[in-house]
Structure 1
């Protein structure tokens, strides 16, 4: 029986700015997002009956309609009247509730994989539109690469990849609610907005130093204040010599960029002293 495999890479925000709160409760954002090679892996195959069966080696994630990959399978089945059953195994490597869009990337991988498994012939833009119904980060995860995201995150503009580098990620043993962070953010009172033009110029000039200098995330104003562990990790990465350091998304994961491999071991070993979940990845280009 045919099996379909899809990778679901983690994303990081090189820039995250919030412009205003909208009347529908969402926020208008400007983000520069890219992917790293820390990834989940989905295996999909047809099974008898009109049902969705989800499994994982990770014992701490839901395997029902609370899981975004399950929701993606249900959405594509209902929207395109697919009465076939599917078994999805999720090999979970991206930490959960970490600001790395792991669940969104799983949903995107499920959409891409089931489109292939069932021969639906959906275009990338059609899959992105489906993804927007599941979550703000899902359209980007469907598309991949590097992109500017606007609106609530679903309006995408693909841009060149940033300079290749090492990415060291550290997640403290806490979970952060994205809705809670946005709920606490007072967009109208923000005193600093990272420069989107500065980041785009740095990427287009392939300047690693200027990419690091242009990193910015306004959600740090909430998460770092409420969770001192996140601030501690950020300060530790800076002291250990990372070329650029930023919290990804709403946190709590912090990433450090390093141009040279010699810095990676120092960052990894230094962070492992007080943080169990530390990962070394490469920027996907």
Structure 2
């Protein structure tokens, strides 16, 4: 099974061009795709409907879209509400049916000196041939460590509570539907806006023992970069074209502990040019 995560930056590459075809070409061939910064009616890409565009370019995939931020500026057309809502969120695409989903809004603060968009983790219950799997397309805050820490704590709480909550629905027989599975296994993919070894990264994976190093435990996700040989030192997944010194690796794949032995490879596609981020691929046995 091949999974890929890609922050699309509204479909705009480092060359300043909006070209959704480049995004689609970079993720084609994956079994499951997690995308971030997917928008509708956003001025930076001339109001494109990226959800419809990606669905058209990748017609062999089931897809869901989770709106994190939804704004209507009160625009009128011919004196009537235009209903052109600016939407910003995450997307999951899958070769196999996505039988249920939830958009999990993450904690945020009232920040006044910098823009602060509502962030989210989009949950998808995928009926993969190997068995049901939970997949999350995640996007954390990019300027505040404290906010990322709160978002990680909340995300982990919700992810590990899933078997007890039952996901999007339980007791479905009352409505004539089959009961959905509650798999323990999950994969978190996305733009976490943190670097390896940072406080928020350790909050996600757990701090390593001073003598014995990092351990694989049931209550912490496992960083795929620590498995299957990882990626070369100095690898980056995001490029700051105005401040090159800020360029770093901030996009990750984390797997539930039971899946750690199934991670066969992880790589960063350095050639993709559709965004200021690079796609991160992971292969599971």
> TM-score when scaled to structure 1?
0.28
Q: Larger RCO: Structure 1 or Structure 2 (Cα < 8 Å, ≥ 6 residues apart)?
A: 1
> TM-score when scaled to structure 2?
0.28
